[in-house]
Amino acid sequence: MIDSLASFFAGFLHAATPTNIFFAFIGSILGTLIGVLPGIGPLATISMLLSFTLMMDPLTSLIMLASIYYGAQYGSSTTAILCNLPGEVTSAVTCIDGHQMARQGRAGVALATAALSSLFAGCVATFLIVLFAPPLASLALNFSAPEYFLLMLLGLVASVVFCHGSVLNAFAMALLGVLLGLVGTDVETGSLRYTFGIGEISSGLDIVPVGMALFGLTEIIFNLSMPMSRQVMTQKITNLLPSLSDLKEAVLPAIRGTAIGSLLGILPGGGATLSPFASYMVEKRIAKDPSRFGRGAIEGVAGPEAANNAAAQTSFIPLLTLGIPTNPVIALMLGAMLIQGIQPGPQVISSRPDLFWGLIASMIIGNLLLVVINLPLIGIWVRLLKVPYRVLFPAIVVFCCIGAYTLNVTPIMLFIMAGFTVFGVVLIMLGFQPIPLLLGFVLGPMAEENLRRAFVISKGDPSIFVTRPISIVLILMILALVLLIFLPAFQQNKEEFVES
Protein backbone atom coordinates (compact mmCIF):
# COMPACT_ATOMS: atom_id res chain seq x y z
CA MET A 1 0.00 0.00 0.00
CA ILE A 2 2.82 2.41 0.88
CA ASP A 3 4.57 1.63 -2.41
CA SER A 4 1.34 2.30 -4.31
CA LEU A 5 0.85 5.66 -2.60
CA ALA A 6 4.49 6.59 -3.28
CA SER A 7 4.07 5.67 -6.95
CA PHE A 8 0.82 7.60 -7.10
CA PHE A 9 2.41 10.78 -5.78
CA ALA A 10 5.33 10.23 -8.16
CA GLY A 11 2.74 10.08 -10.94
CA PHE A 12 1.98 13.75 -10.30
CA LEU A 13 5.46 14.57 -11.62
CA HIS A 14 4.39 13.15 -14.99
CA ALA A 15 0.78 14.40 -14.90
CA ALA A 16 1.52 17.93 -13.67
CA THR A 17 3.72 19.04 -16.56
CA PRO A 18 2.49 22.21 -18.31
CA THR A 19 1.60 20.24 -21.44
CA ASN A 20 -0.41 17.59 -19.61
CA ILE A 21 -2.23 20.15 -17.45
CA PHE A 22 -3.08 22.13 -20.59
CA PHE A 23 -4.56 19.10 -22.35
CA ALA A 24 -6.36 18.04 -19.15
CA PHE A 25 -7.91 21.52 -19.21
CA ILE A 26 -8.81 21.18 -22.90
CA GLY A 27 -10.34 17.75 -22.25
CA SER A 28 -12.29 19.08 -19.27
CA ILE A 29 -13.65 21.97 -21.34
CA LEU A 30 -14.62 19.64 -24.19
CA GLY A 31 -16.14 17.12 -21.79
CA THR A 32 -18.22 19.78 -20.07
CA LEU A 33 -19.29 21.17 -23.44
CA ILE A 34 -20.48 17.85 -24.85
CA GLY A 35 -22.16 17.04 -21.54
CA VAL A 36 -24.02 20.34 -21.60
CA LEU A 37 -25.12 19.92 -25.22
CA PRO A 38 -27.38 16.84 -25.51
CA GLY A 39 -27.01 14.59 -28.51
CA ILE A 40 -23.20 14.43 -28.77
CA GLY A 41 -21.74 12.41 -25.91
CA PRO A 42 -18.18 11.45 -24.98
CA LEU A 43 -18.12 8.39 -27.22
CA ALA A 44 -18.63 10.30 -30.46
CA THR A 45 -16.19 13.00 -29.32
CA ILE A 46 -13.45 10.56 -28.35
CA SER A 47 -14.02 8.68 -31.61
CA MET A 48 -13.49 11.90 -33.56
CA LEU A 49 -10.27 12.67 -31.69
CA LEU A 50 -8.68 9.22 -31.81
CA SER A 51 -6.95 9.78 -35.13
CA PHE A 52 -5.58 13.13 -33.93
CA THR A 53 -4.02 11.60 -30.81
CA LEU A 54 -1.48 9.80 -33.00
CA MET A 55 0.50 13.03 -33.05
CA MET A 56 0.51 13.33 -29.25
CA ASP A 57 2.49 11.77 -26.42
CA PRO A 58 0.67 8.62 -25.19
CA LEU A 59 0.18 9.91 -21.64
CA THR A 60 -0.95 13.33 -22.84
CA SER A 61 -3.50 11.83 -25.22
CA LEU A 62 -4.93 9.50 -22.56
CA ILE A 63 -5.15 12.35 -20.03
CA MET A 64 -7.12 14.44 -22.52
CA LEU A 65 -9.46 11.59 -23.51
CA ALA A 66 -10.07 10.60 -19.88
CA SER A 67 -10.83 14.24 -19.00
CA ILE A 68 -13.42 14.31 -21.78
CA TYR A 69 -15.06 11.19 -20.37
CA TYR A 70 -15.56 12.23 -16.78
CA GLY A 71 -15.96 15.89 -17.80
CA ALA A 72 -19.07 14.86 -19.71
CA GLN A 73 -20.49 13.46 -16.47
CA TYR A 74 -20.10 16.90 -14.85
CA GLY A 75 -21.53 18.84 -17.79
CA SER A 76 -24.55 16.63 -18.29
CA SER A 77 -25.81 17.47 -14.80
CA THR A 78 -26.03 21.15 -15.84
CA THR A 79 -28.46 20.33 -18.64
CA ALA A 80 -30.41 17.97 -16.41
CA ILE A 81 -30.87 20.59 -13.69
CA LEU A 82 -31.52 23.66 -15.84
CA CYS A 83 -33.43 22.12 -18.76
CA ASN A 84 -34.82 18.85 -17.38
CA LEU A 85 -32.92 17.26 -20.27
CA PRO A 86 -29.99 14.93 -19.52
CA GLY A 87 -26.87 15.51 -21.58
CA GLU A 88 -25.96 11.89 -20.86
CA VAL A 89 -28.20 8.94 -20.00
CA THR A 90 -26.36 8.64 -16.66
CA SER A 91 -27.73 12.07 -15.67
CA ALA A 92 -31.34 11.19 -16.45
CA VAL A 93 -32.09 10.54 -12.79
CA THR A 94 -30.65 13.95 -11.83
CA CYS A 95 -33.52 15.56 -13.77
CA ILE A 96 -36.06 14.22 -11.28
CA ASP A 97 -35.05 16.33 -8.27
CA GLY A 98 -32.40 18.63 -9.75
CA HIS A 99 -34.84 20.37 -12.08
CA GLN A 100 -37.41 20.68 -9.33
CA MET A 101 -34.78 22.42 -7.18
CA ALA A 102 -34.12 24.80 -10.08
CA ARG A 103 -37.82 25.58 -10.44
CA GLN A 104 -37.90 26.39 -6.72
CA GLY A 105 -35.12 28.95 -7.19
CA ARG A 106 -32.38 26.63 -5.91
CA ALA A 107 -30.60 25.97 -9.20
CA GLY A 108 -27.30 27.24 -7.76
CA VAL A 109 -27.52 24.87 -4.80
CA ALA A 110 -28.37 21.93 -7.10
CA LEU A 111 -25.45 22.70 -9.44
CA ALA A 112 -23.02 23.10 -6.55
CA THR A 113 -24.24 19.89 -4.92
CA ALA A 114 -23.76 17.99 -8.18
CA ALA A 115 -20.25 19.42 -8.66
CA LEU A 116 -19.07 18.87 -5.08
CA SER A 117 -20.54 15.34 -4.93
CA SER A 118 -18.80 14.51 -8.21
CA LEU A 119 -15.50 15.93 -6.93
CA PHE A 120 -15.73 13.90 -3.72
CA ALA A 121 -16.64 10.73 -5.60
CA GLY A 122 -13.91 11.26 -8.19
CA CYS A 123 -11.20 11.70 -5.55
CA VAL A 124 -12.34 8.69 -3.52
CA ALA A 125 -12.63 6.50 -6.63
CA THR A 126 -9.14 7.56 -7.72
CA PHE A 127 -7.67 6.43 -4.41
CA LEU A 128 -9.56 3.14 -4.77
CA ILE A 129 -7.77 2.70 -8.10
CA VAL A 130 -4.48 3.38 -6.34
CA LEU A 131 -5.23 0.76 -3.68
CA PHE A 132 -6.73 -2.03 -5.77
CA ALA A 133 -5.23 -1.70 -9.25
CA PRO A 134 -1.67 -2.83 -8.39
CA PRO A 135 -2.74 -6.02 -6.51
CA LEU A 136 -5.17 -6.86 -9.31
CA ALA A 137 -2.45 -6.30 -11.89
CA SER A 138 -0.07 -8.55 -9.91
CA LEU A 139 -2.73 -11.26 -9.83
CA ALA A 140 -3.30 -10.88 -13.57
CA LEU A 141 0.40 -11.54 -14.22
CA ASN A 142 -0.35 -15.16 -13.26
CA PHE A 143 -2.93 -15.41 -16.02
CA SER A 144 -2.18 -17.53 -19.06
CA ALA A 145 -4.23 -18.09 -22.23
CA PRO A 146 -7.05 -20.11 -20.54
CA GLU A 147 -7.55 -17.47 -17.83
CA TYR A 148 -7.53 -14.64 -20.35
CA PHE A 149 -10.13 -16.40 -22.50
CA LEU A 150 -12.37 -16.94 -19.48
CA LEU A 151 -11.85 -13.33 -18.45
CA MET A 152 -12.97 -12.11 -21.88
CA LEU A 153 -15.93 -14.49 -21.71
CA LEU A 154 -16.81 -13.08 -18.28
CA GLY A 155 -16.82 -9.58 -19.76
CA LEU A 156 -19.09 -10.65 -22.61
CA VAL A 157 -21.52 -12.44 -20.29
CA ALA A 158 -21.62 -9.44 -17.93
CA SER A 159 -22.34 -7.09 -20.84
CA VAL A 160 -25.35 -9.26 -21.72
CA VAL A 161 -26.61 -9.71 -18.15
CA PHE A 162 -26.39 -6.06 -17.12
CA CYS A 163 -27.65 -4.56 -20.37
CA HIS A 164 -31.23 -3.39 -19.96
CA GLY A 165 -33.89 -4.88 -22.17
CA SER A 166 -34.22 -8.43 -23.45
CA VAL A 167 -31.36 -10.74 -22.50
CA LEU A 168 -31.85 -12.63 -25.76
CA ASN A 169 -31.50 -9.41 -27.74
CA ALA A 170 -28.36 -8.46 -25.79
CA PHE A 171 -26.88 -11.91 -26.42
CA ALA A 172 -27.58 -11.58 -30.14
CA MET A 173 -25.86 -8.18 -30.20
CA ALA A 174 -22.80 -9.49 -28.33
CA LEU A 175 -22.54 -12.44 -30.72
CA LEU A 176 -22.87 -10.14 -33.73
CA GLY A 177 -20.16 -7.91 -32.27
CA VAL A 178 -17.84 -10.90 -31.93
CA LEU A 179 -18.46 -11.85 -35.58
CA LEU A 180 -17.76 -8.29 -36.74
CA GLY A 181 -14.56 -8.30 -34.71
CA LEU A 182 -13.35 -11.37 -36.61
CA VAL A 183 -13.41 -9.53 -39.95
CA GLY A 184 -9.91 -9.24 -41.40
CA THR A 185 -6.84 -11.44 -41.38
CA ASP A 186 -6.67 -14.62 -39.30
CA VAL A 187 -3.70 -14.14 -36.97
CA GLU A 188 -2.92 -17.88 -36.98
CA THR A 189 -3.16 -18.76 -40.67
CA GLY A 190 -2.88 -15.37 -42.37
CA SER A 191 -6.01 -16.03 -44.45
CA LEU A 192 -8.68 -13.38 -44.99
CA ARG A 193 -12.06 -13.71 -43.28
CA TYR A 194 -15.35 -12.00 -44.17
CA THR A 195 -13.66 -9.22 -46.17
CA PHE A 196 -15.69 -9.89 -49.37
CA GLY A 197 -12.68 -8.92 -51.44
CA ILE A 198 -12.35 -5.43 -49.91
CA GLY A 199 -8.63 -5.00 -49.37
CA GLU A 200 -9.01 -1.92 -47.16
CA ILE A 201 -10.54 -3.99 -44.36
CA SER A 202 -8.00 -6.83 -44.53
CA SER A 203 -6.62 -5.64 -41.18
CA GLY A 204 -10.14 -5.61 -39.70
CA LEU A 205 -12.91 -3.10 -39.08
CA ASP A 206 -11.74 -0.06 -37.11
CA ILE A 207 -13.46 0.82 -33.86
CA VAL A 208 -13.51 4.55 -34.68
CA PRO A 209 -16.05 4.57 -37.57
CA VAL A 210 -18.06 1.80 -35.87
CA GLY A 211 -18.21 3.67 -32.57
CA MET A 212 -19.03 7.03 -34.13
CA ALA A 213 -21.78 5.46 -36.25
CA LEU A 214 -23.49 3.47 -33.48
CA PHE A 215 -23.25 6.07 -30.71
CA GLY A 216 -22.76 9.41 -32.47
CA LEU A 217 -24.51 9.66 -35.82
CA THR A 218 -27.30 7.30 -34.78
CA GLU A 219 -28.03 9.52 -31.78
CA ILE A 220 -28.11 12.59 -34.01
CA ILE A 221 -30.62 10.99 -36.37
CA PHE A 222 -32.98 10.11 -33.52
CA ASN A 223 -32.64 13.59 -32.04
CA LEU A 224 -33.55 15.11 -35.41
CA SER A 225 -36.52 12.79 -35.79
CA MET A 226 -37.79 13.77 -32.34
CA PRO A 227 -36.97 17.48 -31.90
CA MET A 228 -36.34 18.38 -28.28
CA SER A 229 -37.59 21.65 -26.88
CA ARG A 230 -35.20 23.12 -24.35
CA GLN A 231 -36.69 25.48 -21.80
CA VAL A 232 -33.55 26.99 -20.28
CA MET A 233 -33.76 28.69 -16.90
CA THR A 234 -33.59 32.41 -17.68
CA GLN A 235 -33.36 33.87 -14.20
CA LYS A 236 -29.94 34.68 -12.79
CA ILE A 237 -28.36 31.76 -10.93
CA THR A 238 -27.18 32.72 -7.46
CA ASN A 239 -26.30 31.05 -4.14
CA LEU A 240 -23.80 28.58 -5.54
CA LEU A 241 -22.66 27.70 -2.03
CA PRO A 242 -24.97 25.18 -0.28
CA SER A 243 -26.00 25.99 3.27
CA LEU A 244 -24.83 23.95 6.25
CA SER A 245 -28.18 22.12 6.38
CA ASP A 246 -27.90 21.32 2.66
CA LEU A 247 -24.44 19.86 3.19
CA LYS A 248 -25.66 17.74 6.10
CA GLU A 249 -28.43 16.29 3.93
CA ALA A 250 -26.08 15.64 1.00
CA VAL A 251 -23.02 14.13 2.74
CA LEU A 252 -24.32 10.63 3.48
CA PRO A 253 -26.04 10.20 0.08
CA ALA A 254 -22.78 11.27 -1.61
CA ILE A 255 -20.83 8.70 0.40
CA ARG A 256 -23.33 5.94 -0.38
CA GLY A 257 -23.45 6.96 -4.04
CA THR A 258 -19.65 6.83 -4.21
CA ALA A 259 -19.66 3.30 -2.82
CA ILE A 260 -22.37 2.13 -5.23
CA GLY A 261 -20.76 3.76 -8.25
CA SER A 262 -17.29 2.44 -7.38
CA LEU A 263 -18.59 -1.12 -7.31
CA LEU A 264 -20.87 -0.99 -10.35
CA GLY A 265 -18.33 0.92 -12.46
CA ILE A 266 -16.07 -2.14 -12.53
CA LEU A 267 -18.77 -4.33 -14.06
CA PRO A 268 -18.75 -4.73 -17.85
CA GLY A 269 -21.88 -3.80 -19.74
CA GLY A 270 -24.38 -1.53 -18.06
CA GLY A 271 -22.81 -1.25 -14.59
CA ALA A 272 -21.69 2.36 -14.96
CA THR A 273 -25.04 3.32 -16.50
CA LEU A 274 -27.04 1.66 -13.75
CA SER A 275 -25.04 3.22 -10.87
CA PRO A 276 -26.91 6.57 -10.57
CA PHE A 277 -30.27 4.81 -10.90
CA ALA A 278 -29.23 2.32 -8.21
CA SER A 279 -28.12 5.16 -5.94
CA TYR A 280 -31.43 6.99 -6.39
CA MET A 281 -33.42 3.85 -5.58
CA VAL A 282 -31.35 3.25 -2.43
CA GLU A 283 -31.78 6.83 -1.22
CA LYS A 284 -35.50 6.76 -1.84
CA ARG A 285 -35.96 3.44 -0.02
CA ILE A 286 -34.00 4.41 3.11
CA ALA A 287 -35.41 7.96 3.33
CA LYS A 288 -37.63 8.79 6.31
CA ASP A 289 -39.98 10.64 3.94
CA PRO A 290 -39.81 9.11 0.44
CA SER A 291 -42.50 11.51 -0.77
CA ARG A 292 -39.86 14.30 -0.86
CA PHE A 293 -38.22 12.62 -3.84
CA GLY A 294 -39.39 14.04 -7.12
CA ARG A 295 -40.12 17.37 -5.41
CA GLY A 296 -36.59 18.74 -5.06
CA ALA A 297 -34.84 16.44 -2.57
CA ILE A 298 -31.14 17.30 -2.46
CA GLU A 299 -30.34 13.62 -1.76
CA GLY A 300 -31.70 12.83 -5.24
CA VAL A 301 -28.93 14.97 -6.71
CA ALA A 302 -26.00 14.23 -4.40
CA GLY A 303 -26.25 10.41 -4.46
CA PRO A 304 -26.71 9.81 -8.20
CA GLU A 305 -24.10 12.41 -9.20
CA ALA A 306 -21.55 10.84 -6.85
CA ALA A 307 -22.37 7.38 -8.17
CA ASN A 308 -22.15 8.64 -11.74
CA ASN A 309 -18.65 10.07 -11.39
CA ALA A 310 -17.31 7.26 -9.19
CA ALA A 311 -18.37 4.71 -11.80
CA ALA A 312 -16.65 6.73 -14.55
CA GLN A 313 -13.39 6.61 -12.56
CA THR A 314 -13.39 2.97 -11.44
CA SER A 315 -14.28 1.78 -14.94
CA PHE A 316 -10.59 2.35 -15.69
CA ILE A 317 -9.54 -0.41 -13.25
CA PRO A 318 -10.32 -3.39 -15.55
CA LEU A 319 -8.77 -1.55 -18.51
CA LEU A 320 -5.49 -0.72 -16.80
CA THR A 321 -5.07 -4.02 -14.95
CA LEU A 322 -6.72 -6.65 -17.16
CA GLY A 323 -7.02 -4.97 -20.55
CA ILE A 324 -10.83 -5.35 -20.52
CA PRO A 325 -13.19 -2.47 -21.41
CA THR A 326 -16.29 -2.17 -19.25
CA ASN A 327 -18.26 0.20 -21.48
CA PRO A 328 -18.07 1.67 -24.99
CA VAL A 329 -16.07 4.74 -23.94
CA ILE A 330 -13.48 2.60 -22.16
CA ALA A 331 -13.38 0.41 -25.27
CA LEU A 332 -12.32 3.51 -27.20
CA MET A 333 -9.70 4.25 -24.54
CA LEU A 334 -8.38 0.75 -25.16
CA GLY A 335 -8.28 1.58 -28.86
CA ALA A 336 -6.36 4.78 -28.08
CA MET A 337 -3.74 2.77 -26.17
CA LEU A 338 -3.41 0.24 -29.01
CA ILE A 339 -3.01 3.07 -31.54
CA GLN A 340 -0.10 4.34 -29.45
CA GLY A 341 1.48 0.87 -29.41
CA ILE A 342 0.58 0.16 -25.77
CA GLN A 343 -0.97 -3.19 -24.91
CA PRO A 344 -3.43 -2.66 -22.02
CA GLY A 345 -3.14 -5.16 -19.23
CA PRO A 346 -1.08 -6.04 -16.17
CA GLN A 347 2.23 -5.36 -17.94
CA VAL A 348 1.47 -1.63 -18.19
CA ILE A 349 2.17 -0.98 -14.52
CA SER A 350 5.69 -2.42 -14.83
CA SER A 351 6.59 -1.53 -18.43
CA ARG A 352 5.08 1.99 -18.43
CA PRO A 353 4.75 3.13 -14.79
CA ASP A 354 4.92 6.77 -15.94
CA LEU A 355 1.80 6.25 -18.04
CA PHE A 356 -0.06 4.12 -15.48
CA TRP A 357 0.50 6.37 -12.46
CA GLY A 358 0.49 9.57 -14.49
CA LEU A 359 -2.99 8.79 -15.84
CA ILE A 360 -4.31 7.99 -12.35
CA ALA A 361 -2.79 11.14 -10.84
CA SER A 362 -4.29 13.21 -13.66
CA MET A 363 -7.77 12.19 -12.47
CA ILE A 364 -7.33 14.30 -9.33
CA ILE A 365 -6.14 17.23 -11.43
CA GLY A 366 -9.01 16.78 -13.89
CA ASN A 367 -11.66 16.66 -11.17
CA LEU A 368 -10.32 19.85 -9.57
CA LEU A 369 -10.27 21.57 -12.95
CA LEU A 370 -13.86 20.51 -13.60
CA VAL A 371 -15.15 22.15 -10.42
CA VAL A 372 -13.32 25.35 -11.37
CA ILE A 373 -14.69 25.17 -14.92
CA ASN A 374 -18.28 24.26 -14.08
CA LEU A 375 -19.33 26.61 -11.30
CA PRO A 376 -17.74 29.99 -12.18
CA LEU A 377 -18.55 29.59 -15.89
CA ILE A 378 -22.15 28.50 -15.40
CA GLY A 379 -23.40 31.58 -17.27
CA ILE A 380 -21.49 30.52 -20.39
CA TRP A 381 -22.92 26.98 -20.25
CA VAL A 382 -26.44 28.40 -19.92
CA ARG A 383 -25.93 30.48 -23.08
CA LEU A 384 -24.55 27.46 -24.94
CA LEU A 385 -27.73 25.57 -24.11
CA LYS A 386 -29.53 27.97 -26.48
CA VAL A 387 -27.45 26.87 -29.50
CA PRO A 388 -29.99 25.50 -32.04
CA TYR A 389 -29.59 21.91 -33.18
CA ARG A 390 -29.71 22.95 -36.84
CA VAL A 391 -26.32 24.61 -36.25
CA LEU A 392 -24.90 22.01 -33.89
CA PHE A 393 -25.59 18.72 -35.65
CA PRO A 394 -24.10 19.50 -39.10
CA ALA A 395 -20.84 20.45 -37.40
CA ILE A 396 -20.81 17.14 -35.51
CA VAL A 397 -21.37 15.16 -38.72
CA VAL A 398 -18.50 17.01 -40.43
CA PHE A 399 -16.10 16.28 -37.56
CA CYS A 400 -17.15 12.62 -37.51
CA CYS A 401 -16.38 12.33 -41.22
CA ILE A 402 -13.02 14.03 -40.76
CA GLY A 403 -12.14 11.68 -37.89
CA ALA A 404 -13.07 8.58 -39.90
CA TYR A 405 -11.35 9.69 -43.12
CA THR A 406 -8.05 10.61 -41.46
CA LEU A 407 -7.58 7.08 -40.06
CA ASN A 408 -6.05 5.84 -43.33
CA VAL A 409 -7.08 8.56 -45.80
CA THR A 410 -9.40 6.28 -47.77
CA PRO A 411 -13.12 6.75 -48.48
CA ILE A 412 -13.88 3.20 -47.32
CA MET A 413 -14.00 4.38 -43.69
CA LEU A 414 -16.74 6.86 -44.60
CA PHE A 415 -18.76 4.10 -46.25
CA ILE A 416 -18.28 1.86 -43.20
CA MET A 417 -19.43 4.66 -40.91
CA ALA A 418 -22.46 5.38 -43.10
CA GLY A 419 -23.38 1.70 -43.27
CA PHE A 420 -23.15 1.22 -39.51
CA THR A 421 -25.19 4.38 -38.96
CA VAL A 422 -28.07 2.94 -40.97
CA PHE A 423 -27.55 -0.39 -39.22
CA GLY A 424 -27.58 1.32 -35.79
CA VAL A 425 -30.82 3.16 -36.54
CA VAL A 426 -32.50 -0.10 -37.56
CA LEU A 427 -31.21 -1.88 -34.44
CA ILE A 428 -32.53 0.75 -32.03
CA MET A 429 -35.88 0.93 -33.82
CA LEU A 430 -36.17 -2.84 -33.33
CA GLY A 431 -35.35 -2.56 -29.63
CA PHE A 432 -31.72 -3.76 -29.69
CA GLN A 433 -29.01 -2.10 -27.61
CA PRO A 434 -25.64 -1.41 -29.32
CA ILE A 435 -23.54 -1.55 -26.13
CA PRO A 436 -23.10 -5.39 -26.11
CA LEU A 437 -22.30 -5.22 -29.84
CA LEU A 438 -19.38 -2.81 -29.32
CA LEU A 439 -18.03 -4.74 -26.33
CA GLY A 440 -18.29 -7.99 -28.32
CA PHE A 441 -16.51 -6.24 -31.20
CA VAL A 442 -13.58 -5.39 -28.90
CA LEU A 443 -13.46 -8.52 -26.71
CA GLY A 444 -14.28 -11.10 -29.40
CA PRO A 445 -10.92 -11.12 -31.24
CA MET A 446 -8.99 -11.22 -27.95
CA ALA A 447 -11.14 -14.10 -26.71
CA GLU A 448 -10.63 -16.03 -29.95
CA GLU A 449 -6.86 -15.53 -29.88
CA ASN A 450 -6.55 -16.77 -26.29
CA LEU A 451 -8.94 -19.68 -26.88
CA ARG A 452 -6.84 -20.94 -29.79
CA ARG A 453 -3.64 -20.38 -27.86
CA ALA A 454 -5.02 -22.36 -24.93
CA PHE A 455 -5.83 -25.33 -27.16
CA VAL A 456 -2.37 -25.16 -28.71
CA ILE A 457 -0.81 -25.28 -25.24
CA SER A 458 -3.00 -28.23 -24.17
CA LYS A 459 -2.82 -29.99 -27.56
CA GLY A 460 -6.60 -29.84 -27.85
CA ASP A 461 -7.40 -30.95 -24.29
CA PRO A 462 -10.31 -28.83 -22.94
CA SER A 463 -9.48 -29.78 -19.34
CA ILE A 464 -6.90 -26.99 -19.36
CA PHE A 465 -9.75 -24.64 -18.44
CA VAL A 466 -10.43 -26.41 -15.11
CA THR A 467 -6.95 -27.33 -13.92
CA ARG A 468 -5.98 -24.04 -12.26
CA PRO A 469 -7.70 -22.30 -9.32
CA ILE A 470 -8.00 -18.95 -11.13
CA SER A 471 -9.78 -20.62 -14.05
CA ILE A 472 -12.23 -22.33 -11.72
CA VAL A 473 -13.00 -19.04 -9.94
CA LEU A 474 -13.66 -17.33 -13.29
CA ILE A 475 -15.93 -20.18 -14.41
CA LEU A 476 -17.90 -19.92 -11.15
CA MET A 477 -18.27 -16.16 -11.69
CA ILE A 478 -19.56 -16.75 -15.22
CA LEU A 479 -22.07 -19.32 -13.94
CA ALA A 480 -23.20 -16.93 -11.21
CA LEU A 481 -23.88 -14.22 -13.80
CA VAL A 482 -25.81 -16.68 -15.96
CA LEU A 483 -27.94 -17.66 -12.96
CA LEU A 484 -28.85 -13.99 -12.42
CA ILE A 485 -30.71 -14.10 -15.74
CA PHE A 486 -33.17 -16.58 -14.25
CA LEU A 487 -33.85 -14.56 -11.10
CA PRO A 488 -37.07 -12.55 -11.62
CA ALA A 489 -36.17 -10.14 -8.80
CA PHE A 490 -32.87 -9.22 -10.48
CA GLN A 491 -34.49 -8.60 -13.86
CA GLN A 492 -37.26 -6.54 -12.28
CA ASN A 493 -34.87 -4.36 -10.27
CA LYS A 494 -32.59 -3.88 -13.30
CA GLU A 495 -35.45 -2.55 -15.40
CA GLU A 496 -36.70 -0.37 -12.52
CA PHE A 497 -33.28 1.31 -12.39
CA VAL A 498 -33.43 2.06 -16.12
CA GLU A 499 -37.07 3.13 -16.25
CA SER A 500 -37.18 5.13 -13.02
Residue 175 binned pLDDT confidence (cut-offs 50, 70, 90):
very high
- pLDDT greater than 60 at residue 500: no
In this structure, of 253-257, 336-340, 406-410, 454-458, the range with the lowest mean pLDDT score is 406-410
Give the C-alpha separation, 447 to 442, whole Å.
Answer: 9
**Given this model, what pLDDT does residue 239 score?**
67
Residue 331 binned pLDDT confidence (cut-offs 50, 70, 90):
confident
Average pLDDT for 105-115 = 84
- pLDDT greater than 80 at residue 282: yes
Range of the domain at 204: 2-499
Give the C-alpha separation, 43 to 62, whole Å.
Answer: 14
Secondary structure letter of residue 213 according to DSSP: I
- pLDDT greater than 60 at residue 477: yes
The pair phi, psi for residue 472, each rounded to 5°, is -65, -40
Average pLDDT for 147-156 = 86
- pLDDT greater than 90 at residue 467: no
Q: Write out pLDDT tens, residues 433-459.
A: 887 888 888 888 888 888 988 988 888
- 158: number of Cβ within 10 Å: 24
- pLDDT greater than 70 at residue 27: yes
**Given this model, what pLDDT does residue 240 score?**
67
- pLDDT greater than 90 at residue 22: yes
**Given this model, what pLDDT does residue 60 score?**
92
Give the residue with greater pLDDT, 149 vs 221.
Answer: 149
Residue 63 binned pLDDT confidence (cut-offs 50, 70, 90):
very high
In this structure, of 252-261, 334-343, 391-400, the range with the lowest mean pLDDT score is 391-400
- pLDDT greater than 70 at residue 235: no
* Closest to 129 (Cα-Cα) out of 318, 341, 383: 318
**Given this model, what pLDDT does residue 287 score?**
83
Give the residue with greater pLDDT, 376 vs 132.
Answer: 132
Residue 340 binned pLDDT confidence (cut-offs 50, 70, 90):
confident
In the predicted model, what is the mean pLDDT of the chain?
81
**Given this model, what pLDDT does residue 136 score?**
82
- The tally of domains found in the chain comes to 1
Identify the three-state secondary structure at position 240: coil
Q: Write out pLDDT tens, residues 115-128.
A: 888 889 888 988 88
In this structure, of 35-39, 136-140, 396-400, 452-456, the range with the lowest mean pLDDT score is 35-39
- pLDDT greater than 70 at residue 234: no
Q: What angle, rounded to 10 degrees, do the helices at 18-36 and 353-374 form?
A: 50
Give the residue with greater pLDDT, 380 vs 352.
Answer: 352
**pTM of the model as a whole:** 0.78
Work out the angle at residue 222's Cα, subtended by the Cα atoms of residues 409 and 26, and round it to the nearest 5 degrees: 55
